[in-house]
Amino acid sequence: MNGTTGTSGTPARTPARTPGTTGPEETGPKETGLKETGLKETVGRHGIWSAGLRAEDAEGRAERADAVAELEDLGFGAVWLGGSSSTGNARPLLDATSRIVVGTSIQSIWQYGPDTTAAAFAELEATHPGRFVLGLGVSHAKLAEQYRRPYSALVAYLDALDGAGVPADRRALAALGPRTLELSRDRAAGALPYLVTPEHTARARGILGDGPLLAPELKVILDPDAGRARALARDVLALYLALPNYTNNLLRLGFTEDDLTGGGSDRLVDAVFAWGGESRVRDRIATFHAAGADHVALQVINEASRQSLPREEWRRLASLLA
């Protein structure tokens, strides 16, 4: 992480530019992206996963623009937009920055057809070349009425994107099981696994091989109190433990049905969260890199709404990872 700080301890930076504007005799900062370097090099080792940054309310747009500009200056290589995000959610963040990669994590294949997605991708590429990654996934049967034969549907979607000219090296897949990891290797730039462990990361690296991007998401609670941290973690886990795509993957990893009850056992919480003081969190993030992750997408969990922007915790993460 290479952000600079001012005397107050908060990052010193130029305010985010208003989308679509430049100075009187300039064209704005030169954008850099995947065309200058490869995806792994561009996104770096750490990024931020945020549901709040994908919000669409007009009142919060300026705050989101300022927050993503600060993340860029803090040295994070990418922001990953949580929930069922889209190119439309990415555009304001790209408008507000000049270097950081913005990716969907993920866009559901059931939400937008491939032709619509390809057209939106082309528009982003024209205005922000090389800075958007299309993260795709099949979502969950409980969340998508159209959910049928998800693997075959994903393959067909990728076929259509190929035909529409969306390059494979600019898309990544939400992949947990072996077949979808293989698809990430063969038909995309890599994989964006969610709610996983270092052991899953090692297995995924074995399937992907050395070349593709492996960018697991990891939830972070910056609280050294075990009781508080685990209680907060269980509040979050309850949603995911009702979704078979996640529970089946956790069972494949050796967890038991007992681990999946009551919001998750201590063993499960400690495996899929990085909680504690700064040194403990730093070490936990490092275990994912040691297992084979190229990039770790860090999702801060605190007492606030998941739609909030935990900017103080983002600054602390940047500092402890420097």
Lowest mean pLDDT: which of 26-30, 184-188, 200-204, 247-251? 26-30
Strand partners, 11: 5
Per-residue pLDDT band for 83 (boundaries 50, 70, 90) equals confident
Mean pLDDT of the chain: 90
In the three-class reduction of DSSP (H, G, I as helix; E, B as strand; rest coil), residue 211 is classed as coil
Per-residue pLDDT band for 20 (boundaries 50, 70, 90) equals very low
User: At residue 9, does pLDDT exceed 90?
Assistant: no
Alpha carbons 39 and 212: distance in angstroms, whole number:
9
Position 141 scores a pLDDT of 59
Per-residue pLDDT band for 118 (boundaries 50, 70, 90) equals very high
Angle at 176 between CA 271 and CA 169, to 5 degrees: 120
User: At residue 29, does pLDDT exceed 70?
Assistant: no
Per-residue pLDDT band for 305 (boundaries 50, 70, 90) equals confident
Helix axes 61-74, 311-321, angle to 10 degrees: 10
The average pLDDT across 150-179 equals 97
Helix axes 114-127, 87-95, angle to 10 degrees: 10
Position 7 scores a pLDDT of 31
- Where does the chain show beta strands of DSSP type E? 46-50, 78-81, 101-104, 107-108, 132-137, 171-173, 190-191, 213-214, 217-221, 273-275, 296-300
The average pLDDT across 176-192 equals 98
Position 148 scores a pLDDT of 81
User: At residue 3, does pLDDT exceed 80?
Assistant: no
Chain centre distance of CA 4: 24
Percentage with pLDDT > 90 across the chain: 83
Count of CB atoms within 10 A of residue 49's CB? 25
In the three-class reduction of DSSP (H, G, I as helix; E, B as strand; rest coil), residue 299 is classed as strand
User: At residue 19, does pLDDT exceed 50?
Assistant: no
User: What backbone phi and psi angles, to 5 degrees, belong to 214?
Assistant: -120, 110
Helix axes 311-321, 278-291, angle to 10 degrees: 70
User: At residue 270, does pLDDT exceed 60?
Assistant: yes
Strand partners, 108: 137
The average pLDDT across 263-269 equals 98
Position 307 scores a pLDDT of 85
68 touches 96 (CB < 8 A): yes
Percentage with pLDDT > 70 across the chain: 87
Position 2 scores a pLDDT of 43
User: At residue 24, does pLDDT exceed 60?
Assistant: no
User: At residue 33, does pLDDT exceed 80?
Assistant: no
User: At residue 14, does pLDDT exceed 80?
Assistant: no
Any residues with CB less than 8 A from the CB of 108 and at least 6 apart, and which?
84, 136, 137, 138, 139, 143, 144
Terminal CA-CA length for the chain? 5
Count of CB atoms within 10 A of residue 266's CB? 12
Position 84 scores a pLDDT of 87
The average pLDDT across 28-55 equals 83
User: At residue 313, does pLDDT exceed 90?
Assistant: yes
Whole-number Cα distances in Å, 91 to 167, 212, 295 = 19, 25, 22
The average pLDDT across 18-45 equals 61
Position 235 scores a pLDDT of 96
Identify which of 195, 171, 177, 207 has the alpha carbon closest to the alpha carbon of residue 288.
195
Is residue 111 classed exposed, middle or buried when 0-12, 13-18 and 19+ CB atoms within 10 A define those classes? middle
Structure token pair of residue 297:
């997408």
Position 139 scores a pLDDT of 75
Lowest mean pLDDT: which of 138-142, 196-200, 252-256? 138-142
Per-residue pLDDT band for 147 (boundaries 50, 70, 90) equals confident
- Where does 160-300 show beta strands of DSSP type E? 171-173, 190-191, 213-214, 217-221, 273-275, 296-300
Chain centre distance of CA 308: 16
User: At residue 32, does pLDDT exceed 90?
Assistant: no
Lowest mean pLDDT: which of 21-30, 187-196, 278-287? 21-30
